[in-house]
A and B are shown apart, each in its own frame.
Chain A
Amino acid sequence: MTIDAPPAATARGAGPALQPTLAELSRPGRGGGKVPHPPSDALDGIPTELRRASPLGLPELNEPAVIRHFVNLSQLNYSVDAGFYPLGSCTMKFNPKVNEWAARLHGFTQLHPLSPDQLAQGTLELMFDLQSELAEIGGMTAVSLQPAAGAQGELTGILMIRAYHQARGDDDRRDVIVPDSSHGTNPATASMAGARTVTVRSAPDGGVDLEVLRRALGPTTAAVMLTNPSTLGLFERRIEALLEAVHQAGALAYMDGANMNAVLGRFRPGDAGFDVMHLNLHKTFSTPHGGGGPGAGPVACADRLAAYLPGPLVVRDEAGYRLERPGERPTAIGRVRAYQGNVGVLVRAYAYLRAHGAAGLREVSEDAVLAANYLRARIGEGYQLPFGGPCKHEFVASASALRRDTGVRTLDVAKRLIDHGFHPPTIYFPLIVDECLLIEPTETESVDTLDAFAEAMLAIAREAYEDPDRVKAAPSSAPVRRLDEASAARQPRLRWSSAR
């Protein structure tokens, strides 16, 4: 079977054409009327040598042109609001609209971050409650809402672990152990924190190899960073023995909580013995990804690390809610953000939590795991499944047989999915699986959508045998065809040439 046109049910419709840049749309004299003109002597207090000498070559456009420009650009994007986005490890679930409404309430948006506590009681209460609820979900003692993203949460956690060891005079612990299946942020975080990364090979079943880990652990190990469920979508079955080995070696256990959406109400990392973790509010708690951000990566920790959490935390006393004062908790590792964190994102996550409650959250994970196992079974009809089931919220498939038999690679399958109206899954990650596809359907998709996606994947596999060149030429229905990424990197053009 060959596909001549994407099936109507999943087609995104004809998008608009590529757009000129703002600079190309600029016409001298356009725009204006947004703010009053200043008096002519407004800048007399500024010495000439401190003033801008070069002309300000920003584009000049009127409002209709600006709106059309960005609306037309927006329609070149694929988005969760428009279709299925099974990007593994990214959790592209639906973003409830009431959360967006709430985050835009005037009382939330207009609050200055250095406002005295008495002016900020609404947001402070929200943050206090969110700290408590995230601690409950993680089985942890305390939470800092400051980190802006998972990676910043990781850095925060590793710096806390270092502070813990140093406070005990244990200064030689500078190694951070990560499995080879880990997110790239884990080793990058270790380096950023001045630690040395030790990578350990995974066992054939995809889990951490206990013996390899034991050999890697020692008196210089500061921490082990584990993702559980792992980046392969598997629950770490040897978790008890692993954590015991880590603690026996005097090291602490960091959990990359990127995949908590699989185990809400089923598994609490703190109960299991993890010392510190981050939660990705933009994954598990449905805050939108924004085309790359902003997210939020709160850090939750067990009792022994609570003293080192970055400040200020939100606390409650007789007068109400307040931020910790400068110097109030001198053991804190310091700030990781200028202010209190991505509060607008926290509002959305809080709304999500309150809309679900304990039973609702558990259902979120159940539905996400059920959807992934269902889709896994269907995709297995045409692709390799390198690891046994059941999976958690996502699963790994491989196009290795397709590549061997037809020359069609995972990249080609991904690009051909675009012609079927779907966003491709994550590809070539984790790095340890050949021709890897990491597929995460999330709980917010219907079985009809899962079936349509499975049919598309299987159709592409058949097409690879019948007409491989057609698959390799995909996508043919997107606004652009494949791009010359090599030229872009060899001679980087990172901005339009100045109007000067």
Chain B
Amino acid sequence: MLGALGIDSVDVLFEDIPAAMRARDLDLPDALTELELAARLSELASRNRVDLDSFLGAGVYHHYIPAAVDQIVSRGEFYTAYTPYQPEISQGTLQTIYEYQSLIAELTGLPVVSASHYDGAAATAEAALMAVRATGRERILASRAIHRQYLDVTRTYLGDATLRLDELPTGPDGVTDLAALETALLSDAGPVAGVILGQPNAFGVLESMTDAAGLAHRAGALFIAVIEPISLAVLSTPGEYGADICAGEGQPLGIAPQYGGPYLGILATTEALMRQIPGRLVGETRDLDGRRAFVMTLRAREQDIRREKAASNICTNQALCALAATTYLATIGPHGLRDVAALGAARARELERALEAVGAPRIHAGSYLNEFCVRVPHAQQVHQALLDRGILAGLPLARWYPDDAQLSDGLLVCATETTTLGQIERFAATLREVMA
């Protein structure tokens, strides 16, 4: 190729870099052969401890992932393709996104679903910005019982000085204080664009979403639900309780925990807000010969066309994770999904009984699905002692809620369909031993 270009060194092609700016040699570790690389990576992976009995959830859950899911997302035709800008040779990706949108619409009861966002927290932040755009108002009310990190990310995204996020308190029963919501909606701090509650909330407790949605709507605000998708097999849907937007973490749908990602930000809304939703959308259409086909649509909302007036700057999303969720839902089916949700609830009930029996009762009275808070004296030390005995006893709440006396001795624990009765017994017995 050098010969064809009539040059004798590739350096000629880099002469446009000003001499003063040319880099010195990079100081990086030496290259490894594939054999050496595989050994290095195996060694790093093996240094992670993933063999404990884990009761840790808090927004990310260990579920069984059917073998079919990894087989499908490992296909090069899917994972080495780009965004489907050329629909004639991207029908595979396009149809799976359409199917993803359809499946999530069915789960959430909201008809318009974006092709994916970065994670549940980013989707929540986008939902808040969407409410600001749709209402022309600048204030968001968010329950303190949505995941701490979701509040943090939403606050970062709302960073603009003119936008403001106020937290709503929770009562001793662990649910959002709706009287406080009513007061906040009427306060002179400015009209509210959106109200955000989680279901189940960050403490695992179930909220009165219908009532909260009603209060938000009476004040002209949008209601935003932060959901966990598997729970929607058995819990009332955002569509049923009148949410305008729902955001959530799609990780439970066939995606491994991976220390934080890649995950799947679910974002869905009503027909009325269709043009406000950020992120890609795929729609059905026909080709010149009348064959059904799929294509990215409503593109004028997006950054490459709308530039500074786009609904969001999102470009690269989490498409392959949406494919994992689509494959998961297709494989597990409606009965399987209900079984996953209900079996997790049953195991959690067993866990509650076992922990209560050894002196670790629930903190909140409200009903829950598969996750709840228990009171354990000296929770952080107990958590560490259990860790040393091979048990990951959920999340010590003091780290996230340092100023809350009710939670300072709290552990947030969860069970899923993968939790065995043996693990629960061992957790309870070891806890008794440690506390004694």
B-side contacts of A77, CB under 8 Å: 77-78, 81, 89-93
The answer to whether B172 has its CB under 8 Å from any CB of chain A is no
Contact with A along B189-227 (1 / 0, CB 8 A): 000000000000000001000100000000000000000
Is A121's CB under 8 angstroms from B338's CB? Answer: no
Q: How far is the CA of A354 from the CA of B32 in the complex (A)?
A: 6
Is B153's CB under 8 angstroms from A495's CB? Answer: no
What is the interface residue range for chain A against chain B?
A: 35 or more
Q: How far is the CA of A484 from the CA of B288 in the complex (A)?
A: 7
The answer to whether A301 has its CB under 8 Å from any CB of chain B is no
Is A326's CB under 8 angstroms from B399's CB? Answer: yes
The answer to whether B120 has its CB under 8 Å from any CB of chain A is yes
Is B13's CB under 8 angstroms from A267's CB? Answer: no
A-side contacts of B79, CB under 8 Å: 79, 95, 100, 288-291
Complex A-B: 15 CB contacts under 8 Å: A36-B339, A37-B343, A39-B346, A58-B107, A113-B258, A148-B118, A191-B313, A289-B82, A290-B81, A292-B115, A338-B260, A344-B261, A481-B288, A485-B297, A498-B105
Is B256's CB under 8 angstroms from A237's CB? Answer: no
Interface of chain A residues 77 through 107 with chain B (CB within 8 A): 77-82, 85, 87, 90, 92, 95, 98, 100-102, 104-107
Other A-B contacts than A121-B47, A267-B17, A338-B120, 15 sampled, CB-CB below 8 A, are A46-B367, A58-B103, A78-B86, A107-B44, A119-B48, A122-B45, A151-B313, A152-B313, A333-B159, A354-B32, A369-B14, A373-B5, A390-B16, A479-B88, A479-B91
B-side contacts of A290, CB under 8 Å: 78-79, 81, 318-321, 323
Pick the residue among A32, A50, A192 that contacts B129 (CB under 8 A).
A192
Is B156's CB under 8 angstroms from A339's CB? Answer: no
B-side contacts of A37, CB under 8 Å: 339, 343
Nearest 3 interchain pairs by C-beta = A339-B260, A194-B160, A107-B45
Shortest Cβ distance from B114 into A: residue: A494
A-side contacts of B89, CB under 8 Å: 76-78, 418, 423, 475, 478-479
Interface of chain B residues 53 through 100 with chain A (CB within 8 A): 54, 56, 58-60, 62, 64, 66, 68, 70-72, 74-84, 86-93, 95-96, 98-99
A-side contacts of B320, CB under 8 Å: 288, 290-294
Q: A51-B236, A293-B316, A495-B101 are in contact. Are A488 and B283 (CB under 8 A)?
A: yes
Q: A52-B232, A76-B91 are in contact. Are A59 and B330 (CB under 8 A)?
A: yes
Q: How far is the CA of A194 from the CA of B162 in the complex (A)?
A: 9
The answer to whether A483 has its CB under 8 Å from any CB of chain B is yes
Q: How far is the CA of A334 from the CA of B148 in the complex (A)?
A: 12
Shortest Cβ distance from A59 into B: residue: B330
Contact with B along A155-185 (1 / 0, CB 8 A): 1000100100000000000000000000111
Q: How far is the CA of A54 from the CA of B88 in the complex (A)?
A: 37
A-side contacts of B417, CB under 8 Å: 35-36
Would you give the shortest CB distance from A229 to chain B, in whole angstroms?
A: 9
Shortest Cβ distance from B199 into A: residue: A50
Q: How far is the CA of A100 from the CA of B287 in the complex (A)?
A: 35
Shortest Cβ distance from A338 into B: residue: B121
The answer to whether A150 has its CB under 8 Å from any CB of chain B is yes
Interface of chain A residues 259 through 300 with chain B (CB within 8 A): 263-268, 271-272, 280, 282, 288-295, 297
* Best-buried of A23, A30, A73, A114 by chain B (most CB within 10 Å): A114
Chain B binder among A14-22, A216-224, A401-409, A455-463:
A14-22
Would you give the shortest CB distance from A454 to chain B, in whole angstroms?
A: 11
Q: A290-B319, A339-B259 are in contact. Are A149 and B118 (CB under 8 A)?
A: yes
Is A188's CB under 8 angstroms from B310's CB? Answer: yes
Contact with B along A418-430 (1 / 0, CB 8 A): 1000011000010
A-side contacts of B105, CB under 8 Å: 494-495, 498
Is B29's CB under 8 angstroms from A354's CB? Answer: yes
Q: How far is the CA of A184 from the CA of B92 in the complex (A)?
A: 26
A-side contacts of B46, CB under 8 Å: 107, 122
A-side contacts of B236, CB under 8 Å: 49-53
Pick the residue among B28, B68, B259, B263 that contacts A120 (CB under 8 A).
B259
Contact with B along A460-500 (1 / 0, CB 8 A): 00000000000000010011111111011100111110110
Q: How far is the CA of A23 from the CA of B99 in the complex (A)?
A: 8
Would you give the shortest CB distance from B200 to chain A, in whole angstroms?
A: 10
Q: A480-B291, A483-B88 are in contact. Are A184 and B303 (CB under 8 A)?
A: yes
Q: A151-B313, A294-B262, A355-B37 are in contact. Are A337 and B56 (CB under 8 A)?
A: no
* Chain B interfacial residues counted at CB < 8 A: 192
Q: How far is the CA of A104 from the CA of B302 in the complex (A)?
A: 33
Is B346's CB under 8 angstroms from A90's CB? Answer: no
A-side contacts of B72, CB under 8 Å: 67, 70-71, 74
The answer to whether B18 has its CB under 8 Å from any CB of chain A is yes
Chain B binder among A3-11, A246-254, A359-367:
A359-367
The answer to whether A226 has its CB under 8 Å from any CB of chain B is no
The answer to whether A190 has its CB under 8 Å from any CB of chain B is yes
The answer to whether B407 has its CB under 8 Å from any CB of chain A is no
Is A30's CB under 8 angstroms from B333's CB? Answer: yes
Pick the residue among A23, A52, A265, A335 that contacts B240 (CB under 8 A).
A52
Q: How far is the CA of A39 from the CA of B71 in the complex (A)?
A: 31
B-side contacts of A481, CB under 8 Å: 88, 287-289, 291
Q: How far is the CA of A308 from the CA of B96 in the complex (A)?
A: 39
Interface of chain B residues 253 through 273 with chain A (CB within 8 A): 256-263
Is A54's CB under 8 angstroms from B240's CB? Answer: yes
Contact with A along B231-249 (1 / 0, CB 8 A): 0111111011000000001
Interface of chain B residues 344 through 388 with chain A (CB within 8 A): 345-346, 349, 367-369, 384, 387
Interface of chain B residues 299 through 348 with chain A (CB within 8 A): 299-300, 302-310, 312-321, 323, 326-327, 329-340, 342-343, 345-346
B-side contacts of A379, CB under 8 Å: none
Shortest Cβ distance from A366 into B: residue: B10
Is A267's CB under 8 angstroms from B22's CB? Answer: yes
Q: How far is the CA of A489 from the CA of B297 in the complex (A)?
A: 6
Shortest Cβ distance from A343 into B: residue: B259
The answer to whether B181 has its CB under 8 Å from any CB of chain A is no
